[in-house]
Structure formats: structure tokens, C-alpha cells
Amino acid sequence: MSGVSPDLLALQVFAGLALGAVYVLLATGMSLIFGMLTVVNFAHGAFYMLGAYLGLLALDATGNFWAALVLAPLGAAAIGMVAERTLIRRLYGRGIDYPLLLTFGLAYILVELVRIAFGTQGLPFDTPDALAGAVDIGVGYFPLYRLFVIAVTILVLGALWLFLERTPYGLIIRAGARDPEIVRVLGIDVARVWLVVFGLGTGIAGLAGLLAAPLQGASPEMGNSILAEAFVVTVVGGMGSLLGAVAAGLLVGLVVSMTALVAPEMEQVAIFALMALVLLVRPQGFFGRAGLMS
């Protein structure tokens, strides 16, 4: 690190924040589903991948990236809601392993369907012209699109917080997660609440995939490679904790970025070393509740 200039170090921090923003979105959707439904969604990486491909379809149909930015997450949310209504809902209350295994199989089905529809090779996803190029951030030039990813993540997190904490429906969702029986007694359709939560979580995953596509392209396996990292973020932050997903996502992004700067071959090792260290000190993660998985 002695040969690294302060400006390069600062640019690498911004790169870590941009990567962390994708982790935050993916882990937020995963934590939302687990925290509200106690479902470990192994298909979350597949919905991330679907967001990229749905974005390509929307871009081809409309020629407008901003339309794709809206349509792709909505499409991922709709597919997620169909999966929840027809498959996952049948397994509520039967133990955490059942939906885990079901979503594991669902992920394979979604990946294979994408391979059949789009081929096994990855597809390019061009950065929109309005977000191309780089801007001077004081310590050097940084890609404008990566700043856009950070900004979108902040907006989504703010909107999600307002929805859950400041709206009547958000109150119902939080109450349904804590005591669904009481919510039923009050005459509220808990099944509809679960449907909305699962759709919201998968929609956020789709948004993360769309935002990541201009950085890495769209490929059927893109969800597989990032799913393990998303689980690391979720575990480090605390299963079911949205605040933990944000804090851990940014931390993991910074760890990956800094490790890539000084020892690129240790990039993946550093992620799991961080998880092991956190779990040794605090087994439930930064903001998780002890015993939630039991």
C-alpha cells in the first residue's frame, strides 16, 4: 500500500462503493424476504439475472434505458409473485429447509429457460449515452454510470424505508412478519402481504441485475457468481436485517475493491475471511437477531 497514491486510493474507495451498491440492493431484497417470510431464497441470483435479460428485452422494445429501468424490475417482481403464489406459499410453516430446496430448484429452471430463450453465451448491454463517460470527482475521473448506480441505490433504499416505516401498508407488512395470526384476526389478508413482500424482494433483485448489466453484460450464469457474495453480505449484516444488508454490502464492496488493488488473487478469499471473522465475534451478524434461523 506504500506505493499507492492517495488519489488512486480514493478512486478505489468510490469503485468499492459502486460495487457495494449492487451488493446492497441484492442483499436488501434477500433480507426483506427472509425477514418478513423466513424464506431463504436460493433463486435470488436467478431473479438478479432475469433483471438483466428483462432489461435487454425492454430496451429492444422501447429503445429507452429509462423505460427498461422501470419495466425490468416490474417484470422480475411479477415473476416472483407468480412463483410465490403457485409454489412457495404451499411450503409456509413446514420448516425453513422446504422453501430453500424449492427455490434452489427454481433457480436452475429459470437459468435453463434463459439459456433456451437467449443462448448460452453472454450478451452485451451498452451503457446509456446519457450516462457514458467519466466525471471529475476531485481525486480523478470516475465513470458516471457507477455514480448513477450509487445514486439509484440511495433512492431505492430511501423509498423502501418510507414505504415500510411511514405507510399503512408498510405497518401491515411489519406486523404480519411479527405475528401473522393477530393480523388475520384484524381481518387482513396475510397471504396478500406475503405476495407483495416476495414481489418487492425479487423486484429489487431484478433492479440490481439491470444496473449491473452495463458493467458486466448479461449472461445466464451471472446470478450464480454473485449469489454466494450476496449470502455473505446477508450473513455479515444479519439475516433479515435491512440495515445490516446496507452496512455489510458497502463493507464487502470496499473489501473487494481494496483487495483487488493490492492482491487481486485474494479477492474472493477476502470476502469469506471477512464473513468468518464477523461470525466468530458476532454469530448473528452486525444487526441480526440471535435464534432467527431456528
**pLDDT tens profile 210-252:** 999 999 999 999 998 888 888 889 889 988 788 889 999 999 9
pLDDT of residue 292: 53
- pTM of the entire predicted model: 0.91
pLDDT of residue 107: 95
Pick from 202, 205, 206, 196: which is nearest to 54 by CA?
A: 206
Residue 10 pLDDT exceeds 90 = no
Q: Which fold has domain 6-281?
A: ABC transporter involved in vitamin B12 uptake, BtuC (1.10.3470)
Alpha-carbon distance of 115 to 261, in angstroms, equals 34
Total Cβ atoms within 10 A of residue 294: 5
Domain boundaries, the chain: 6-281
Query: Greater confidence, 37 or 160?
Result: 160
pLDDT of residue 67: 96
pLDDT band at 35 (very low <50, low <70, confident <90, very high): confident
